[in-house]
Amino acid sequence: MKVVIASDHAGVEYKTKLITFLKEKGFEIIDFGPQTEESVDYPDFAHLVAESVAKGEGDLGVLLCGSGNGINMSANKHQEIRSALCWTKEIAELARLHNNANVLAMPARFISYEEAEQIAETFLNTDFEGGRHERRVNKIACC
C-alpha cells in the first residue's frame, strides 16, 4: 500500500518517526514534507496529500499538525477526500470501518508518539465495512 504523508512544523518530528515505522511495516511512503521544524503553512501540505490521494497516486494519506484541526479542515476541502481527525486508535478504526476515511489527521501536540503509531497502524490496516455505511458515505459529498 502506498501512503502519502505530510505535516506542518508542529508535526514534523512525529512524521519523520512514523515514516521509519511505517516503512518497517511494509508500507510504501511518499513524504510531501516539510523536512524541518521551521514554521510553515499547514494548508500547503494538506493540499499536496489530498490531491495525491484524490488522483490515486497514494492509497491513503496521513497528516499531522499541532491540533490536527487545521490540516484536517484543509484536506476536507477536496471533494474526493474524507479526512478524519483521530486521537485514539478506536476512532481511527471507526473512521475506516464506517466512514471510509481516506486521510488520517492527527494532533501531534495532544497525543504521544506511541499513540500516533497505534493510530496510524490501525487506520492503515482497517478496511471499509461497506453495507449500510456505503449509503451514508455516498451522501457526504455535496457536489
Give me the pLDDT at residue 131, please.
Answer: 87
Angle at 125 between CA 75 and CA 136, to 5 degrees: 55
- The pLDDT mean for the chain works out to 96
Give backbone dihedrals phi and psi of 107, rounded to 5 degrees, phi first. -90, 95
104 pLDDT higher than 90: yes
117 pLDDT higher than 70: yes
| Beta-strand relationship, 28-31 and 2-7 | parallel
DSSP string, 12-29: HHHHHHHHHHHHHTT-EE
Give me the pLDDT at residue 67, please.
Answer: 98
Catalytic residue among 9, 65, 78, 86: 65
Give me the pLDDT at residue 128, please.
Answer: 95
Catalytic residue among 47, 78, 86, 98: 98
- Please state the rounded mean pLDDT for residues 109-118: 98
Q: Is residue 65 flagged as an active site residue? A: yes
**Confidence at 143, pLDDT banded by 50, 70, 90:** low
Domains and CATH numbers, the chain: 2-137 (3.40.1400.10)
Q: In what order do the strands lie in the sheet with 28-31?
A: 28-31, 2-7, 60-65, 103-107, 83-85
Of 25-29, 31-35, 81-85, 131-135, give the lowest mean pLDDT range: 131-135
44 pLDDT higher than 90: yes
Give the C-alpha separation, 91 to 1, whole Å: 21
| Grid coordinates of 110 | 495532544
**Which pTM value belongs to this model?**
0.97
**Confidence at 45, pLDDT banded by 50, 70, 90:** very high
- Please state the rounded mean pLDDT for residues 43-56: 98
Q: Residue 27: count other Cβ atoms within 10 Å of its Cβ.
A: 21
